[in-house]
Homo-oligomer: A and B are copies of this chain.
Amino acid sequence: MASVKLSKISTRAPKGWDKDTTKHKLQQMLTKLDELQNLLYAERKHSILIVLQGMDAAGKDGLIRDVFTSMNPQGVQVTSFKEPTPEELSHDFLWRIHQHAPACGMIQVFNRSHYEDVLVTRVHRMIDDKTAKKRMDAINDFERLLQENNATEIIKIYLHVSQEEQQKRLKERLSKPEKMWKYNAKDLSESDLWDTYVKYYDEAISYCNKPEWHIVPTDQNWYKSYLVARILLDKLQSLKMKYPGLKK
């Protein structure tokens, strides 16, 4: 098992990248992404599942706004997985997830995902290591099902923020009126559990690696959005899609 160590990976854009050029590049890509999303929808041979994970304030919501807003909403769905409801808890942990798997032709974004079931649950000792292992095996089986049985391309993104940058952003939530609604009293205590989160993230990212995760440095928001758009564009271009002809 390839072992990922998040603590060894930079949370910042590589040297030489500047904000304005990168933002311009993102804009150019968005036009191409829009075209390719139309093609994906028309061809209905593939589907795309983007799994977005990251610590609180890593910038998941902003990423979704930056990259997906310009696409046809008919072909893009975003599902945010919150704390499970009692009904959801009375099923296996993948039950609620599977319902939102993308249909052919669709792009589905998971804002948080089934990975929470081997992260927050472990940090708060709601499940033991043995159960976590079983769940990670089940995640691998489930992701294989989607890939092999429904031509779903899975893109797993870990938004990699530093603890310093996270603290800064959490404090901003308390001071800026337009960000206050995002503040949750839990956020700061969760931040105390940083190292524990990192440990379980390392494990999940290493164990559930088909396909492998993209670790996206996210201390600068402009770089993060550029990079995810790039990853998505490369994936869509690799599918060699064609508009279908007239139905016979």
Contacts and interface: CB of A to CB of B under 8 A. Distances in A.
A182 interface: no
Contact of A87 (B103, B134, B141, B148): B103
Contacts of A98: 94-95, 98-99
Given A90-B105, A92-B150, A101-B91, A138 B145 contact: yes
Interface residues of A, number: 26
A94 B134 contact: no
A104 B90 CA distance: 5
Nearest to A134: B148
A81 interface: no
Q: How many copies does the complex hold?
A: 2
Contacts of A3: none
Nearest to A105: B90
Interface string A93-110: 111001101011100000
A25 to B, nearest CB: 34
A169 interface: no
A10 to B, nearest CB: 36
Interface string A136-179: 00100110111011101000000000000000000000000000
A142 B149 CA distance: 13
Contact of A92 (B105, B135, B149): B149
A99 B92 CA distance: 11
A112 interface: no
A94 B149 contact: yes
A44 interface: yes
A137 to B, nearest CB: 8
Nearest to A139: B145
Nearest to A131: B149
B148 A138 contact: yes
Interface of A: 44, 87, 90-95, 98-99, 101, 103-105, 134-135, 138, 141-142, 144-146, 148-150, 152
Complex A-B, nearest 8 residue pairs according to Cβ-Cβ distance, in ascending order: A141-B141, A92-B150, A90-B103, A92-B149, A98-B98, A90-B104, A138-B145, A134-B148
